Amino acid sequence: MAVTKELLQMDLYALLGIEEKAADKEVKKAYRQKALSCHPDKNPDNPRAAELFHQLSQALEVLTDAAARAAYDKVRKAKKQAAERTQRLDEKRKKVKLDLEARERQAQAHESEEEEESRSTRTLEQEVAEP
């Protein structure tokens, strides 16, 4: 069974409502329960039911085939790790941004102080220069 890109985007365990460590027996039981509620013959008016039933069938195929399940789990784990890395990077970027903004505020405050000092010096020089 070939694992399609569409299947890799879905969380098959959540789709069936089972845990990652679920045995084949549990996978099949969850499939049967979910399939009853969305079987196209029982829901002829709902086009989404046929699509969901097809997804459930594919999930069953992947999760009951040991090689396909191992490949799916490997890809799923890699995606989870990539998401965690991205989150950590986002946290680092946020910290760097906050640090940069704080330094910019400090620099701006320092410039304001220098500007105020310069203005005071000019005012003093003008007062001294006037007879």
The CATH code of the domain that includes 37 is 1.10.287.110
**Amino acid at residue number 1:** M
Q: Does 23 map to a domain?
A: yes
* Average of per-residue pLDDT values in the chain: 88
Q: Does 126 map to a domain?
A: yes
Q: Are residues 95 and 123 in the same domain?
A: yes
Q: Of 14, 30, 64, which marks where a domain is finished?
A: 64
To the question of pTM greater than 0.75 for the whole model, the response is no
Q: How far apart are CA 97 and CA 77, in angstroms?
A: 30
What pLDDT score does 38 carry?
87
Alpha helices in the chain (DSSP H): 5-9, 12-16, 24-38, 47-64, 66-129
Which stretches of the chain score pLDDT less than 50?
A: none
Q: Are residues 57 and 89 in the same domain?
A: no
Q: Does 73 map to a domain?
A: no
Total count of domains within the chain: 2
What pLDDT score does 3 carry?
57
Q: Which two tokens stand for residue 121?
A: 């010096």
What pLDDT score does 13 carry?
93
Domain that holds residue 22: 1-64
Q: Does 12 map to a domain?
A: yes
- Buried b / exposed e over 32-71, threshold 16 CB at 10 Å, is eebbeebeeeeeeeeeebeebbebbebbbbbbeeeebbeb
Q: Are residues 1 and 56 in the same domain?
A: yes
Q: Are residues 98 and 43 in the same domain?
A: no
